[in-house]
Amino acid sequence: MPPIDPTDIDAAIAALAQGRPVILPTETVYGLAANAADPSAVAAVFEAKGRPRFNPLIAHVADAEMGRAVGQLDARAERLAQAFWPGPLTLVLPVGDPALVCDLARAGLDTVAVRSPGHPLALEILGRFGGPVVAPSANRSGRPSPTTFQDATDETGEFAAAGIDGGPCAVGVESTVVALLDGPPRLLRPGAVTREALEAVLGPLAAADAHAHRSPGRLLRHYAPNAPVRLRATEPRAGEAYLAFGPALEAPGVFQLSASKDLREAAAKLFALLRAADATAPSAIAVAPIPDEGLGEAINDRLRRAAGHVG
């Protein structure tokens, strides 16, 4: 394949139309994108990631209008889309036109996950392509998500026919996933749209993570570096790398998530620092305690999975 020109938007759109995967910047993490309606394009994404086929993909749309073709938005979904799109919120809905997001992308379910990403280049590509695009994180399955174009091409660039460099991802953790099906709304995955922000629109949500296991693909060890991960560590042990949160000595092997304890800064740096720490081949990556409020809920969710602590 010819080398990727990371500024060539026409080439990215042409590749999508030809059913070939494209590295796509979003505000959350870099995605490996493909035409959601094309089963062989979607299959190429599953193969490139080594992703289990029972794990459904999110359909990315240019706007709420495209979202309404893909899924059925009830009044609650409309309110959330109005409040948070474009942005890091995925809605799981009854499927709309099933041909727009093929069976393989939905893992055979009669529901569909939809979001409109808050990144100008992603929106331009989606708008000009004119249909929904699956775009799971561009890492090999189970590994930390890429938050720079370089990390994305290191992971799955060999499978991509095109790719766009949109700079480092502003959010850095994957979208919040909320199911709006029969019964009350359910938070399936915490993310940058916090529980508090959702409750401001929807009213109180069900108890924390009570149903999270029902979201397919919430696998035990995910987002994982090669080294083991040790959580809530107040300091590193000999041989360990350390992800600090708050003031810390500058030393080799110490990586700062946020000296000022800013959760946004920590989320944006999380995966890049896990990769950087891993590259020093430590005995383990120790991570400082992170408060479990606001965006901290999403950071701790990813860290527990990186450590293999949740199912």
| Contact residues for Mg ion, defined by CB under 5 A | 137
Give alpha helix (H) positions in 27-109.
Answer: 39-49, 64-70, 75-84
Q: Which of 106, 115, 195, 305 binds ligand AMP (CB under 6 A)?
A: 106
Q: Does residue 86 have a cis bond before it (omega within 30 degrees)?
A: yes
Q: Out of 13, 122, 177, 287, point to the residue binding ligand AMP (CB under 6 A).
A: 177
At 45, list the tokens.
């994404």
Q: How many CA atoms lie within 13 A of 175 on its CB side?
A: 30
For 54, counting Cβ atoms within 10 Å of its Cβ (0-12 exposed, 13-18 middle, 19+ buried), the class is: exposed
With b for 16 or more beta-carbon neighbours within 10 A and e for fewer, the 77-109 pattern comes to: beebbeebbbbbbbbbbbbbeeebbbebbbbee
Strand ranges of the sheet holding 285-287, from the earlier edge strand across to the other edge:
229-230, 285-287, 241-245, 254-258
Please tell me what DSSP assigns to residue 195. H
Place of tokens 């590193």: 236
Q: Is 174 in the site for ligand AMP (CB under 6 A)?
A: yes
Q: Which of 111, 264, 265, 304 binds ligand AMP (CB under 6 A)?
A: 111
Q: Does 236 bind ligand AMP (CB under 6 A)?
A: no
Q: Which of 6, 216, 228, 253 binds ligand AMP (CB under 6 A)?
A: 216
Interacting stretch for ligand AMP, rule CB under 6 A, among 53-61, 120-128, 149-157, 160-168? 53-61
Q: How far is the CB of 310 from Mg ion (least distance, A)?
A: 15
| Interface region with ligand AMP, contact rule CB under 6 A, candidates 5-13, 56-64, 231-239, 302-310 | 56-64
Structure tokens at 115: 């979001």
For ligand AMP, the binding residue among 21, 25, 56, 96 (CB under 6 A) is 56
Decide which of ligand AMP, Mg ion, none touches 117; Cβ closer than 5 to 8 Å per partner kind. none
Write down the least CB distance from residue 29 to ligand AMP, Å. Answer: 8
Reading phi first (left if > 0) and then psi (alpha if -120 to 50, else beta), residue 280 is in: alpha
Q: Is the CB of 116 or the CB of 147 nearer to Mg ion? A: 147
- Is 150 near ligand AMP (CB under 6 A)? no
CB of 231 to ligand AMP, least distance (A): 21
Contacting residue, 109, 201, 248, 254, with ligand AMP by CB under 6 A: 109
Which of 211, 261 has the CB closer to ligand AMP? 211
What CA–CA distance (Å, rounded) separates 86 from 173? 16
Q: Which one, 59 or 244, has the nearer CB to ligand AMP?
A: 59
Nearest residue (CB) to ligand AMP, 87 versus 236 = 87
The DSSP 8-state label assigned to residue 4 in this structure reads P
Q: Contact residues for ligand AMP (CB under 6 A)?
A: 55-58, 92, 106, 109, 111-113, 136-137, 174, 177, 188-189, 215-218
